[in-house]
Structure 1
Amino acid sequence: MNVQNEMRRRQYLDALGITRWEPRQAPASVSPEIRVGTETPAVPSRSVPGPVLIREADTAVDNSRDWTELEAEVRACTQCSLHKTRTQTVFGVGHRHASWMFIGEAPGADEDRQGEPFVGRAGQLLNAILFAMGLKREEVYIANVLKCRPPGNRDPQPEEVTQCEPYLIRQIGLIRPKLIVALGRHAAHSLLKTEVPLAKLRGQKLSYHGTPLFVTYHPAYLLRNPADKRKVWDDLCRAKAAMTNLEES
């Protein structure tokens, strides 16, 4: 990272109220690894070595057709009632061989209008956090559990998650990320098949069918509770340390 980018990164850190990169000491209850979510169909584990931000693609496999077909299925989906109120589906955005995958709960009004996840105020905050981590939006992959906006931005309903989750599972299977970050309670509960409160999932090294998974607050939550930005930073520092360990192992 050059001097100019480092200065910009520090500006973002200052805006986030963060004074240093290292997380505070992890709580004593942190477990080395907890495996949850066995009800979900298995996602192939990834063993292809690659750089921290973008893994090397398997040149023997061209999955562009799989992506095209999946996008078309999502665009035409009428499996739940959300198709009646959506402006358009919100598939996902980013690098299709990303090492990092960030998963939120559902599109909001801006996302429904533009067809891209995390483009409103919460998305701007996520971009700032990514930049402060040394990541770029185009180098990670960002998606939601739901591909359509719930009316009035209400919480996702169980039947909506059930109908939409297979699309996300297929995205994860195509990307094969090295590490997943679940943004918010609904994303964490959907992926891990648990009702454990988010506060207790934070700080844990979880596993989604062999892929390390970390849980933190949704950026929209931080807009309402800016004092918790420090907690999110600590969570992402732990995730970055885990990614570094993966690269070095």
Structure 2
Amino acid sequence: MKYPDHLVKQVQERSAPYQLEGFLSGQGPENPKFMLLGEAPGETEIHNGIPFSGRAGKQLMVFLERIHVTREEVYITSAVRSRPYKWREKKERNGEIIQKKYNRTPNQGEIVAHAPLLDYELEKIHPKLIVTLGNIGLQRLTGKNKKITDVHGQLLKQPIQKLKDMQSAEFTWSEKEYHVFPTFHPASIFYNRSLLELIHEDFEKLKRLVIKN
């Protein structure tokens, strides 16, 4: 999606205090089967310019294929559009210690800084259904009280959070109600394989919702 230049500039200015790099726009059709909302691009996504193109993205495509949905049929975006990173030491094969950037979870300040972009997309796309992947996307829309372990696989019909105004760091609730379907982030199975069955169950429920709509 092409965002207004002034909006991108403002988001970049708001992001300046944080350890972020690169910028990745949301991608997909104007009338998608549903919107996929992740947390933030990683190193691979920033390098390729394609959302969910890394290891987690490949797993996500497997889940979509199970319900006969392609990447081209959905709109893919994230709560934060730049890569959050942290510096850590890494030992090379030759024994040399180097400093390396690693992906990390975005913090609340970064989510607020990038909020205008998601608000803009929601106004333009009018998604019939928003599938949130993990806690970051879920809580960006529904607030801190909801946790993915409690509400995954449920269809939530409710107002969602949007930025109060462009100068604010506070969220307010939309007048419109949205359909939100939370499930686990695809990367979650890399460190907790037992979630795979739950994700398969969630995607079967999602399949029925897509057919119904």
- Name the TM-score, length of structure 1 as normaliser: 0.66
Structure showing the higher strand proportion among its residues = 2
Are 1:82 and 1:148, in contact at CA under 8 Å, matched by a contact in 2? no
Are 1:70 and 1:167, in contact at CA under 8 Å, matched by a contact in 2? no
The 1:85/1:190 distance shift into structure 2, 3 A limit, reads closer
Name which of 47, 52, 61 aligns with 1:113.
47
Are 2:26 and 2:78, in contact at CA under 8 Å, matched by a contact in 1? yes
Name which of 201, 220, 223 aligns with 2:190.
223
- Three-state SS of the structure 2 residue aligned to 1:219 is coil
Counterpart for residue 15 of structure 2:
80
Structure showing the higher helix proportion among its residues = 1
Unpaired runs of at least 5, structure 2 = 86-101, 160-176
**Aligned partner letter, 1:205:** L
The 1:71/1:238 distance shift into structure 2, 3 A limit, reads farther
Counterpart for residue 97 of structure 2:
none
**Aligned partner letter, 2:199:** V
Percent same amino acid among aligned pairs? 30
Larger RCO (alpha carbons 8 Å, 6+ apart): 1
Distance 2:31 2:18 in 1: 29
Distance 2:207 2:58 in 1: 20
Distance 2:120 2:63 in 1: 27
Unpaired runs of at least 5, structure 1 = 1-66
Are 2:138 and 2:146, in contact at CA under 8 Å, matched by a contact in 1? no
Deviation of 1:72 (Å): 7.3
The 1:92/1:244 distance shift into structure 2, 3 A limit, reads same
Counterpart for residue 155 of structure 2:
205
Provide, for residues 156-180 of structure 1, a one-character-per-residue CA deviation record: whole Å limited to 9, x for no partner.
1111111111211211221111111
Are 1:79 and 1:163, in contact at CA under 8 Å, matched by a contact in 2? yes
The 1:71/1:92 distance shift into structure 2, 3 A limit, reads farther
Deviation of 1:128 (Å): 1.2
When structure 1 is superposed on structure 2, of 222-231 and 138-147 the one drifting more is 222-231
